[in-house]
């Protein structure tokens, strides 16, 4: 008889992590207790929480499909003064650079 995979082998999508993190945030349990009750390593929970927060902070909010999406508004940047340089990584080593 085969054993069921342990929680350490469970792979979750970014959307699943987002849902878990939101569920813990809106609940009454501490993050540590939440993880313990679900068999999730606390360090793994914190890693994914930080990873998702960093994506939001960079303007790369992750969509339900796991793809980076979102926009960074550039029209509020100062007109004069320092030069403006924007670099977009388009994947597969392709980089778009805009300088003003």
Neighbouring CB atoms inside 10 A of 69's CB total 12
pTM of the model: 0.51
Q: Is the pLDDT of residue 99 over 70?
A: yes
Q: Is the pLDDT of residue 1 over 50?
A: no
Burial letters for 40-51: b for 16+ Cβ neighbours within 10 Å, e otherwise? beeeebeebbee
The string of pLDDT tens digits covering residues 3-60 is 444 445 678 988 899 999 999 999 999 999 999 999 999 999 999 998 888 776 665 5
CA–CA gap between residue 52 and residue 97 (Å, rounded): 26
CA–CA gap between residue 67 and residue 47 (Å, rounded): 19
């Amino acid at each position: 008889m085969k054993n069921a995979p342990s929680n350490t082998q469970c792979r979750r999508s970014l959307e699943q992590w987002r849902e878990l993190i939101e569920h813990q945030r809106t609940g009454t349990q501490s993050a540590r207790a939440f993880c313990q009750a679900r068999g999730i390593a606390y360090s793994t929970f914190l890693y994914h929480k930080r990873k998702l927060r960093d994506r939001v902070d960079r303007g790369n909010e992750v969509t339900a499909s796991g793809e980076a999406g979102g926009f960074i508004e550039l029209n509020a940047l100062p007109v004069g003064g320092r030069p403006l340089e924007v670099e977009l990584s388009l994947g597969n080593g392709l980089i778009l650079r805009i300088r003003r």
